[in-house]
Chains A and B, each alone.
Chain A
Amino acid sequence: MLPPPAVFHFLWEINTDLVKDGASVRTYGRLISYKPEGSKAVLSGQQSSAQCHVSVQTTLVEPFQPTLGAQYFVLGEIEKTDGLTGVILHARALSNVDGVDLTLMQKAIREQRCFFKKRIPEINEQAPHCEPSYVKKL
């Protein structure tokens, strides 16, 4: 009855094999386009110097006030199609979080992942390299 938990992922991870088809995810990105007719939005994120885009199906979260260029937090299910459309995120929750500290957000997600990885060493979920920041400070 209850939906599965939505695990935090970075936008650039969604297009890779790290995220399976049908998985519930939560992520964030900058809104760069919105088409109300097709209920399609596109979020963009930056890793190092590379830009990446993810399409978001906004049928379930409409109507919402789109602010192009603002940061948005989105939660929903991934659909991976083999066709040209690529990956689509069917949003169940969408909110404007413009002003969010992106560096701090990334750090928080990485620390949490590090902690989970240490707890369950036999289930090695994400392979991203994890360095807990408290170690760095020393």
Chain B
Amino acid sequence: MAVNPGDADADELPSMLWGLDPDFSAYSRLYITDILQMKESRQVPGAYFYKTHPIFKVDVLGTVVYKREREDFYCYGVDDSTGVINCLCWKDEKCSDHGGSTKCKDPSGSSRGFNIEDELKRLTEAEQKSTVLEIGDLLRVRGTVKTSRDAREISATSSYKVNDPVMAVHISRMLEMPQLYRKCYDQPFQMPRDDLGGTEAGGSSRYHYLLSRSVLTLKEFFLEKEVARFRPYDVEFLLHPLIQSSSESDQPGTSFATQIRNLLKETLSVLQDEGQIFRKIQTQDEVYNVTEQDKDLHTEIKDVLREDTKREKYAEKGCHVLHILSSVRQGYSQNLSQEMLEVALTFLECNSDITSTTEAHYTVL
């Protein structure tokens, strides 16, 4: 299915803002079919999106239809009538130790007094009973969603068998879920309004949101199109949909063009501070290099490492980041900052071109 890259980029909420969505921090009660189908986030592996909401923790209730026991955990297949998912319920190590110890019941009648050891033992046994289930039992699981070998599963943080003799729990869950979907999960995520009043304060949270959105858009554009160098007006068009979609103007009285220019300036400044882009030569012509795509920079770094690690001084430990920085500055560009170098070094390390010997030393492979 051909997807317009512009739309796809605007789809996901930037990860910096996920904490603002209450559904992200709560154990979301989604139908298992939705848990199985929700797409994985492009920004952070391990997080998923149901419509506009970032999700990584869920709460399911269903019938156990499959059971597998391993040394450390039970794997229960849970069916809630919309889908079936594997839930990994870890065994409690404390319980297994207790089982080995000898029973020390007081034969003269433990009804007199409160024997703490017996009570603790009874508590542990009750806990164990509630976590070992058979097929047909009702299980409640709260845990994180994981994808392992192309299959989604839930790694339980807590799970227990539900005693439901008249199906009251089952029924109330069935009644509650559509309400939750209507009120929360199917509602599009809204940025919380800043109620401090005044355009300045009121606009700041929205502007911050816009800025993080535009930074993300540009980063994804560089990656997708493998952009090595660009000028600001080359990427201006990417910010148009962001300004158009914001309902009120941030600074009333300013034109669309001015807003775009301001946003672009801020965005480029943020990207420079992060080290993602840099200006090789400070001229009137504003040309930016994209750190991860600049092959000349990578070659320069590798050459520096190759030459210097031949020397006895650096042979074993590798070169320190600051040493590499000063060498590359001399050989390539005076405008290189440490952040930019670190971005390039991390990229090269991920590509297995170089390796780090300590946290700040690198050597060539």
- Chain A residues within CB distance 8 Å of chain B: 1-8, 26, 28, 61, 73, 75, 92-101, 104-105, 107-109, 111-112, 114-116
Contact = CB atoms under 8 A, between A and B. Distances in A.
A120 to B, nearest CB: 10
B63 A3 contact: no
A111 B174 contact: yes
B238 to A, nearest CB: 33
Contacts of B32: 5
Contacts of B292: none
Contacts of A93: 63, 65, 135-136
Given A92-B135, A97-B167, A5 B178 contact: no
Interface string B170-192: 01001101100100000000000
A108 B166 contact: no
Contact of B65 (A8, A28, A61, A75): A75
A112 B171 contact: no
The list of the 4 closest CB pairs from A to B, nearest first, reads A93-B136, A115-B178, A108-B174, A99-B166
A75 B84 contact: no
B274 interface: no
Contacts of B63: 6, 26, 75, 93
A112 B178 contact: yes
A91 B181 CA distance: 31
B178 A111 contact: yes
Contacts of A115: 177-178, 181
Given A3-B84, A75-B65, A92-B135, A101 B166 contact: yes
21 contacts: A2-B66, A5-B32, A5-B81, A5-B82, A5-B84, A6-B65, A6-B79, A75-B65, A92-B65, A92-B135, A94-B136, A95-B136, A97-B164, A100-B166, A105-B171, A107-B175, A108-B171, A111-B178, A112-B177, A115-B181, A116-B82
Contacts of B79: 3, 5-6, 75
A3 B81 CA distance: 11
Query: What's the interface size class on B, roughly?
Result: 20 to 34
B100 interface: no
B33 A104 contact: no
Contacts of B164: 97
A28 B315 CA distance: 75
B136 A5 contact: no
B348 to A, nearest CB: 41
Contacts of B175: 107-108, 111
B71 to A, nearest CB: 20
A111 B175 CA distance: 7
Given A92-B135, A93-B65, A100-B166, A6 B81 contact: yes
Most buried by A among B81, B82, B86, B171: B81
B19 interface: no
A59 B171 CA distance: 27
A3 B66 CA distance: 8
Contact of A3 (B77, B80, B166): B77
A101 B171 contact: yes
B136 A75 contact: yes
Contacts of B166: 97-101
A8 B81 contact: yes
Nearest to B86: A2
Given A5-B82, A6-B65, A107-B175, 5 more contacts: A2-B84, A5-B81, A5-B84, A108-B175, A114-B178
A40 B245 CA distance: 64
Most buried by B among A107, A109, A112: A112
Contact of A92 (B86, B136, B181): B136
Interface in B134-153: 135-136
A62 B314 CA distance: 74
B65 to A, nearest CB: 5
A61 to B, nearest CB: 7
